[in-house]
Structure 1
Amino acid sequence: MAFDNTIKLNTVAPTTPKKPAMQTLANIVLWSLFGINLSLLIIGFNQPIDWNFDPFISITNFTILIWTTVTFFSAIVSSYATNYLTGFTYHSAFMIRCLGFTFSVMLLVMANHILLVILSWLLMGVFMSQLIGVNKKWGEAREASKFTLRYFLTGTGFLSVGLLIPAFYTGVFTITKLTALISEIPLFITLISAMCIIGAAVVQSAMYPFHRWLLSAMTAPTPASALMHAGFVNGAGILLALFATFLFASNTLHILFIIGGLTAIIAQFTKLLQVNVKQKLACSTIAQMGFMIMQCGLGFFNAAVVHLILHGFYKAYLFLSSGEEVGQTKPQQPIHLRIQPLQAFAVLLFGVLGAVLFALWTGKGTKLDSGIFLTLIVAITVGQATYNIVKEKSLSVVQKSILMPVLFMAGIGIYALMYLGVTQLMADLPMIAQPLPLSWVQLVFGIVFLLGFFLMKLGIYQKFPWLYVKLLNISQPYKRSVLMYKSK
């Protein structure tokens, strides 16, 4: 009798974790909303939308523009999370908070009643803090959630004071009527209101010294980080655009210009000191929000909205691809490169041409007003892009010669088109593109800004150890959000 010595094992094929029903529902809802909003946005170019449901809701072209933007980012993040968070215990909780955040932003831009504006601002902060700490088993995430919530509540407090004081004074509680009465409100009330609105904006956009909450929020899952950097911190630009009349009436735009400029320079410095990919991206976001606040301080709220939309696309992509960057990055010695005279000439040439073309195509920067600084920002951006190309060793001289003018024309053309398109969609808002007369504050700070930018690019700051240590210290997250507690 023959015996079979083969051992037979009962094997079970691995099964793919079942995706929660909430994930599928969220994807359907978000992509459907994006499709509807995009259709309305296209219609709005020819037939301006103005739906009023007094005293609570007002839907305009600007409302549809922000709805289209936020639903697109949310839909992308939701789709990405389908695979990224598969098997994650709090997958459904993440999607519920994602939907809640999306609807709170949509409520903010359609709210006409002061109380609805405050409520939506509060809900945005609550949902974002919950997204940051969605992993309840991770002690550091819980600490980061509580830490960021304190900042968001502070911002809501500023906004509440800033809106309720003029509302109670005038007895008017709608944005449209309150802005129409701005000339009848005493200056001291307008000033207090504007400063509080600025306070709410700088807290949420992580301006210095309120930047630490964003650096501490890296415990959030990558999809949540993408949504936060593409949608949440950009909310400050929306708020400032809605209440631009308060800022003009109180003459507080210079404050925004200085705060934004200082933050942009400091954050660019601190970005160079980071070794963590997400912390680099956080510092980059703070710097970009500084540029956005600067544009508001120049009187160009339409440019700030263009900036926040473009930044949303760029930063969402960087966060969602951050895992791939970590996987492909290898430790290496820093490369000290020196720019050659011909390369410096190319950077200067394309930077100037970019500013000139933007001025010609948009009409901004052709007069002696604050529009000059807007074209200066364009010149710096184009120059930075040109610098990155000329310093790229993997490209030949021929490739660089072709790539630079192609990207130059395409980039400036797309930006100019977006600027003009957003300006048209925001036409229903008062004072969204009002250049200011040149002042000594703008000129002095403009020089300081340029000096800081070149000190950063030339690496001169590295020769001052005290400055290096100071920048490193101020770019650290809240200590309890960095591996301080064991997960429970």
Structure 2
Amino acid sequence: MVWFILLFATVGMALISSLLLLDRRMPLYYVQVHVGVMVLPIAAALAGLIFADHHAAAGLWRFDILAWFMALFILTLGWMIARFCLRYLHGDRAYRKYFSLLTFTVSTAALTWMNNDIRLLVLFWGLPLLGLAQLTRLKREWRPARTAAVRMAMVFSLSWLALFAAGLWLWSATGHWQLSLALSSESIRHLEWWEKTGVNVLLILAAIIPAGQWPFQRWLLESAVTPTPISAVMHAGLINAGGLLLTRFSPLFSGDISQMLLLVLASISVLIGTGISFVQVDYKRQLVASTMAQMGLMLIQCALGAYVAAVIHLVLHGLFKATLFLQSGSVVPNPNKTIHRSRNLSKTWLFAGAAAGLAVGVMFWLTSPEENAKLLSALILGWSLAFVWGRIAVFENGRTIGLIVLAGLALASGAVHVSFMKLLHTSVPLFRTSIITEMAAVFILIAGGLAGIWFSTHRSSDSFVRLYMWLVHIGEPRSESVESHPHYLAAYLKKERI
């Protein structure tokens, strides 16, 4: 309890400091002081993760390892992005407001997973989504930003209402507002099958909307107009929240038919998101589509009961995607630098990559008896290795170094995976799913991958043209969400001249 009070106090200090930023009498260099204040909650979360009683609960709050771990991750990620914003957003008219809203969004998101009361969880679910919509709206002089903010507010409201209805239904059926009691074995045993399925469908709806899953992917694809640091916050943090929500309510999903619904929607999202990332030429939209696919994989893991793997996935994806967004400016080609690419790829090299991927996948499957959904994890691991191997083959020089780096990254990834598994296994429930459900997920992904390979080798066929144009169509934003010229900049210049 002491460590939570410390965390709550330091978060309060950060929020008060963010309000001081809005006072124009406060000198601009105070922004740097505020970013320093944001380190205090990180230190408190780290201390809580190490020293706190991970089985304690106090009324409306819970302090398990997952709660402390996610608080540490979210707060650290927010601080890193704030540091990046110091220079990147310097000179923006809403410079102070960005830091204020960023602190609010990150702080409420960090406290969300410490709630043990359904009413508080519903409230805290909506607050970070509100903060994200307001961050997007700060560039309100630009019509696409206003349009994107309105769309985000609409779909986020639907997600919040779905969670509100699910929480109200669960309380009505169990008689408990306390989450741990409402999800106890005794409470769930008294639920009728239709009540359990109904609550689960609402929870799935609440989870897939912020994750940008099909058929609610349009708002995510149109969010590329947001400033790059805000995109980093969105894709590294808040979009991952759906997996955490399903993890918290995981006892309800054990053996329920709603798992198959989640599996189907997430699988469709993986295939569509991957396809859009291949046909898009805009780098930020490629990253957005990639996030859609990655969140689909995370939700497939949730559908198969592999919640620890899903949490690890969302954390590593968050760090990786934040890095990609913050370094997106580096993709601008350097005219003085030439990269030699091989036009004729060796079939032997590609076959070796496929064999290596197959071997690693089979090895993981055989040596991980405790891993839930290990067949899916083996498929993802082996396919990823084969894909990266093929990317290395594109370059004429540096293939050996690339393989050495790839091997090092694979070992590091395995070590991180094992460490996180040991850390989270006590607070994240483990539910075994049927092998038929897991094989269905694997079959869908393999079929989609093989279809992609076939289309890529038959680019002159009518089927390829139709698929390509369809992916381009659904991956493009609406006309009101784009602008051929940033007219608001012309308005700025006009005001300056006057």
TM bin, normalised by shorter chain, reads: 0.7 to 0.9
TM-aligned CA distance change 1:210 to 1:450, over 3 Å: same
Correspondent of 1:421 among 419, 423, 444: 419
Q: Secondary structure at the match of 2:82?
A: helix
Correspondent of 1:451 among 447, 454, 460: 447
Between the aligned partners of 1:97 and 1:22, the Cα distance in structure 2 is: 16
Between the aligned partners of 2:333 and 2:111, the Cα distance in structure 1 is: 39
2:164 matches 1:160: yes
Q: How does 1:98-247 map to 2 (within 5 A)?
A: 98-180=102-184, 181-247=187-253
The letter for the 1-side match of 2:445 is F
Aligned-residue offset at 1:27: 1.0
Partner of 1:404: 403
Aligned-residue offset at 1:371: 2.3
> Gaps (5+ residues) in structure 2?
1-25, 492-498
TM-aligned CA distance change 1:177 to 1:444, over 3 Å: closer
The letter for the 1-side match of 2:423 is L
TM-aligned CA distance change 1:356 to 1:415, over 3 Å: farther
Partner of 1:436: 433
Partner of 1:378: 381
Between the aligned partners of 2:448 and 2:149, the Cα distance in structure 1 is: 34
CA contact (8 A) 2:224 2:231 kept: yes
The letter for the 2-side match of 1:407 is L
TM-aligned CA distance change 1:34 to 1:486, over 3 Å: same
- Greater Cα radius of gyration, structure 1 or 2: 1
Percent of pairs with identical residues:
23
Q: How does 1:299-448 map to 2 (within 5 A)?
A: 299-326=305-332, 328=334, 339-359=345-365, 362-364=368-370, 370-395=373-398, 400-401=399-400, 403-408=402-407, 410-429=408-427, 431=429, 433-439=430-436, 442-448=438-444
2:36 matches 1:28: yes
2:294 matches 1:282: no
Between the aligned partners of 1:294 and 1:49, the Cα distance in structure 2 is: 28
Partner of 1:467: 467
> Gaps (5+ residues) in structure 1?
1-17
Q: Secondary structure at the match of 2:62?
A: strand
The letter for the 1-side match of 2:443 is I
TM-aligned CA distance change 1:169 to 1:481, over 3 Å: same
CA contact (8 A) 1:190 1:249 kept: no
Aligned-residue offset at 1:34: 2.0
Q: Secondary structure at the match of 1:263?
A: helix
The farther-off stretch of 97-106 and 449-458 is: 449-458
The letter for the 1-side match of 2:390 is Y
Dislocated runs of 4+, deviation >4 Å: 335-339
Relative to the length of structure 1, the TM-score reads: 0.87
Higher relative contact order (CA 8 A, sep 6+): 1
Partner of 2:494: none
Correspondent of 1:52 among 50, 53, 57: 57
TM-aligned CA distance change 1:260 to 1:477, over 3 Å: same
**Cα RMSD after superposing both structures:** 2.7
Between the aligned partners of 2:343 and 2:272, the Cα distance in structure 1 is: 23
2:484 matches 1:479: no
TM-aligned CA distance change 1:237 to 1:170, over 3 Å: same
Aligned-residue offset at 1:374: 1.9
TM-aligned CA distance change 1:324 to 1:415, over 3 Å: closer
Between the aligned partners of 2:48 and 2:277, the Cα distance in structure 1 is: 39
